[in-house]
Amino acid sequence: MLSSLSADVRQYLLITFNYWAFTLTDGALRMLVVLHFHQLGYSPLEVAMLFLFYEIFGVITNLIGGWLGAHIGLNATMNAGLLLQVAALSMLLVPQELLTVVWVMAAQALSGIAKDLNKMSAKSAIKTLVPAHAQGALYKWVALLTGSKNALKGVGFFLGGLLLTAWGFQEAIMAMAVALAVVWLFSITHLNKSLGKSVNKPRFSQLFSKSRAVNCLSGARLFLFAARDVWFVVALPVYLTSTLGWDHWAVGAFLASWVIGYGIFQSVAPKFTLGREGRVPDGTTVFWWSATLSIAPVSIAIAMASGAAVETSLLVGLMVFGMLFAVNSALHSYLIVSYARDQGVSLDVGFYYMANALGRLLGTVLSGWVYQTWGMVSCLWISSVFIALSAVISLSLPRCANATQRPTSSA
Residue pLDDT, tens place only, 297-352: 999 999 999 987 899 999 999 999 999 999 999 999 889 888 876 655 667 777 88
Q: Does residue 400 form part of some domain? A: no
The CB density around residue 279, as the number of other CB atoms within 10 Å, is 18
Count up the domains in the chain and report the number.
Answer: 1
- pLDDT over threshold 90, residue 247: no
Task: Establish if 408 belongs to a structural domain.
Answer: no
Instruction: Give yes or no for residue 61 having a pLDDT over 90.
Output: no
* pLDDT of 206 strictly over 60: no
The answer to whether position 404 is within a domain reads no
**In the predicted model, is pLDDT for residue 404 greater than 80?**
no
383: closest CA among 219, 236, 226, 258? 226
Which amino acid, residue 406?
R
Over residues 134-159, mean pLDDT: 77
- The predicted structure's pLDDT at residue 185: 93
Is residue 270 domain-resident? yes
Half-sphere exposure of residue 283, counting CA atoms within 13 Å on the CB side?
Answer: 21
d(CA 223, CA 261): 22
Q: Which domain does 364 fall in, by range? A: 2-394
Query: pLDDT > 90: what percent of the chain?
Result: 35
pLDDT of residue 295: 97
Residue 341: inside a domain, yes or no? yes
Report if residue 411 sits inside a domain.
no
248 near 34, Cβ under 8 Å? no
Q: How far apart are CA 357 and CA 340, in angstroms?
A: 18
407 located within any domain? no
Task: Tell me the whole-structure pTM to 2 decimals.
Answer: 0.76
Least confident of 131-145, 173-187, 236-250: 131-145
Nearest C-alpha neighbor of 195 from the set 119, 113, 124:
124
Whole-number pLDDT of residue 240: 93
Considering the domain boundaries, does residue 360 fall inside one?
yes
pLDDT of residue 405: 44
Q: Compute the 3-state secondary structure of the chain and give helix, strand, coil in percent, each to the nearest 5.
A: 80, 0, 20
Beta carbons of 321 and 296 less than 8 angstroms apart: yes
**E strand or H helix that includes residue 209:** none
The CATH number given to whatever domain includes residue 180 is 1.20.1250.20
CA distance 110 to 192: 25
